[in-house]
Each structure stands twice: as structure tokens, then as C-alpha cells.
Structure 1
């Protein structure tokens, strides 16, 4: 395996799983040592939570793709926002995978932190998806919302793991790859909206600060500061 090349392959003929309750197998199998399977799952509330989260993520993916498909058919896609949509695929996949593992292993130490990232990522993605439609105006508050949320992500991620693992070189290969893959979308979600705002300001011979109310900028600063503190405490 690429991620863990030092692990030896298992013997599928001799391995067993005595923790499998076999409920979903019905009368075909009973608890105890059972034969190898690619997927085991027990009939527990944690399995139900995994199923619910999986269905929710699949539905969100389906609805977003359906929405984009209609935009592409009409030739009405804003390419810069579509790039951000694509960039966020891995973070959303990672969120689903993290929740699956937290529920599966009963490990809730980072549960609140993951909720923080996932909920804010979904909010930003909803705004990005809205702006993928070229018919929707690039409102300053929408751009500021995207910039604010992802600025919080950058600050929290940097403080949590990125600096230690990547910058200081203390992370393992898979940790560095994960941290970089999660950081790049956040950076893009800050840089691309700023570039679009800058281009709009130049085209209309305005200063960047002319695009916003002072109250909006103040709220963004407070939100980034407060969100970073909360994210580091979770």
C-alpha cells in the first residue's frame, strides 16, 4: 500500500472476526469466529449514525452535481467558482471519512473540532455553489463570508497540525499529504475571491475598501478572531 508500505498482507483464509454480531447476515451466519469479509458492520447505534451521515453526504453531493449539470447545459457556469467547488471535494470527503472513523472507533476526542470544520465548510460550499451560477451577482457579503470561513480554517489548521507536521517536518508522509490537501482549498477560497473583488474594483475604477461597508470588515475581523479561538479550543 502507498500509505503504509511496511504492513504485511493478511491471510484471508485463516483470519476471523469474533466481534462481528452477524445481525445483517440473518440466518446465514452466527456470532463467533467468521470467515473473512471485506466489510463488517454491527447492528449498533453507531452504525446507524454512520449510515445517516453517509446518506446525507451522498444527497448533498448528488444535489450539487445536479445543480451544476443544469448550469453547464445552459452555459451559465462561473468558472472561478467552479474551481473552488472542485477544490472542496477532498475536504468534504475527508469530513465524511473522519466521522465514519470517529463513530466506528468510538473516538470522540476530535469530534467537536470536526463538526466545526464540516459545518463551516458546508456553509462556504453553499455560497460557492450559488456563485457558480453566473447569473447570480458576486455580492460583497458572499465573498467576505467565503474569505472569513476559510481564513478561520487556515488559522486553526496551522495552529493544530500544519506548522508542526509540514513546516517543522515532524509529520509522517500521510499526515503531510493530508494537511497540504486540506490547506490548499482553504488558501484558494481566500485568494480567488480576493482576486475577483480586485478585478471588479479595477474594472469599475474603485478602491478595494469601496466595495464594503466598514461594519462588514469589522464583523469579518471579529468572526475570524473568534472563530480561530473557538476552533483551537475544540
Structure 2
């Protein structure tokens, strides 16, 4: 009997390891494909397109080489990083968002919670924003657009979590009413701010970035129609309009995009 229990526990552990490995591989694949697709949508700089990398005779004086330890700097590397405090931030961001994506995939594939597919545009927006922050930090571009992107990325992460909670709650009446209003306010604010700053020459990219906010707003409107008790009264509308005004003011005072 004990042997049977141990055997079942062993198989359960093996299954967990396999699921973790496969989900990690799948997550890495999605991030890699998403990175290529988003770059294709945004476009390439001509200098990068026509620049040829010589892998046989490549030197770089812009990295300290400390991660090589006692070994020499050598030649061409697939990736480089310097021993700076920002590398900790960059690695933390990558690991954090990668794990969130892995858990999201497990929710859909293992638990077959397919309603969460509505979060796919939000995932794209989150990773686009985080990849942009990583590039700003990597380029040491701290003052021009970093604060603006941090504002968008943090608020995007917040409403993604709220929308996730709204989707997994079966009885929509049990959804905290404040979370629906906050979801509405931030999503609407994203659209207003985005139209004021995004480059309209890149229409496809612009639409993909605000698609998650549009889905949030449409979902909320549908729920307001289905459940009248979720609709705000006049006093509540004024309160949340004031909150929206505070967020809008905070953005333009502290985080505004600067050329």
C-alpha cells in the first residue's frame, strides 16, 4: 500500500516536471514569436536593416566582459550584458512576466478555461510595453519616454489582473463593483492618452495596443446591459470621473511623453 502511494506520488511529480518544462518551452516560443511579429509590425530602422554583422571578426568595446569570469572576452556572442544594477531590473522584469504568461497558459490548457482567451490582446500590450521599458533601460534613455511607458505598463498590468478576475468569477454579481469601474476608467484613459501620443502612421501597431482596452470597455458595457445593478448612479459617476481626472493629471504632470 505504501509502495503504491509512493509510486503515485512519483508519477505525479514526474508529470509536474514535464508540465513545467513544456509550459516553459511554450512560453519561450510565444515570447520569441511575439517579439518578431511586434518588430515586424513596428518596422525596422534602415541602419539595422543594411548593417551586416561579421561574426568571425567581431569586437565590442561597449561591454565590460565581467560575466565571462576568468575566461577572455573572446569574439562574437549571441548576447552581451554588463555588470550594472540595471541588469537585475531587466532580468527581474523578464522572469516576472514570463512566469505570468506561463501561468496563464496553464490556466487555459490544463484547466481549459477558454474564456481567458479574451486576455490575449492584453498580454500583447503588456509584453510590448515591458519590452519597450527594457529597451529604454538598456539604451539608458531615462528621461524622454521611460516614465510614460512605466505609467502605461503598470496600469495595463493592473487592469489585466482585474479583467482576469472578472472573467474567472462565474457569478458576475459577485464581482467587486469598484473593480469594474476602475477597469472602465483606466481602459478609457488608455485610449484617450494613446490617441494623443501614438504615431498614426503605424496604424496596425496603434490598434493592437488599444485593442485590449476596447475589449475591456465592450465587456463592461455588455455586463451593464445584462446586470442593471452593476450600473453606477450619478454620485458614483462623479466620483470615478474625479479619479480619472486625477490619473490624467498625474500622467501629464509626472509621466508625460517628451520628445
For the aligned pair, the TM-score class normalised by the smaller chain equals: 0.7 to 0.9
What is aligned with 1:15? 58
CA distance in 2, matches of 1:189, 1:211: 15
Cα shift at 1:199:
3.1
Identify the residue that residue 32 of structure 2 maps to in structure 1.
Answer: none
Partners in 1 of 2:130 and 2:85 — Cα distance?
A: 17
Listed one character per residue, the Cα deviations across residues 23-60 of structure 1 (whole Å, up to 9, x for unaligned) are 11122223xxx422221111111111111111222233
Give the Cα–Cα distance (whole angstroms) in 2 for the partners of residues 144 and 71 of structure 1. Answer: 28
Equivalent position of 2:159 in the other structure: 124
- The total of aligned residue pairs comes to 208
CA distance in 2, matches of 1:83, 1:69: 11
- Do the aligned residues in 2 keep the contact of 1:151 with 1:224 (CA within 8 Å)? no
- Cα RMSD of the aligned pairs, angstroms, is 2.5
- Which residue among 129, 138, 153 is the counterpart of 1:95? 129
Task: Give runs of aligned pairs for residues 63-212 of structure 1, distance below 5 A.
Answer: 63-69=103-109, 71-72=111-112, 77=113, 79=115, 82-109=116-143, 110-138=145-173, 139=175, 140-161=177-198, 165-166=199-200, 171=201, 175-201=202-228, 211-212=231-232
Matched, 1:223 2:257: no
Aligned to 2:87: 47
In structure 2, the gaps of 5 or more residues are 1-38
CA distance in 2, matches of 1:231, 1:114: 10
Structure 2 CA distance for partners of 1:122 and 1:136, relative to 1, 3 Å? farther
Q: TM-score, with normalisation over the residues of structure 1? A: 0.77
Separation in 1, partners of 2:167, 2:114: 5
| 2:52 pairs with 1:26 | no
1:46–1:103 contact (8 Å) kept in structure 2: yes
Aligned residue among 74, 78, 88 for 1:38: 78
State the Cα distance separating 1:116 from its structure 2 match: 1.3
- Do 1:155 and 1:228's aligned partners in 2 also have CA atoms closer than 8 Å? no
CA 1:97–1:220: 2 relative to 1, 3 Å: same
1:221/1:99 CA distance change after superposition, 3 Å: same
3-state SS of the aligned residue for 1:28? coil
| Structure 1 stretch displaced more, 148-157 or 181-190 | 181-190
2:100 is aligned to 60
In 1, are the aligned partners of 2:119 and 2:212 still within 8 Å (CA)?
A: no
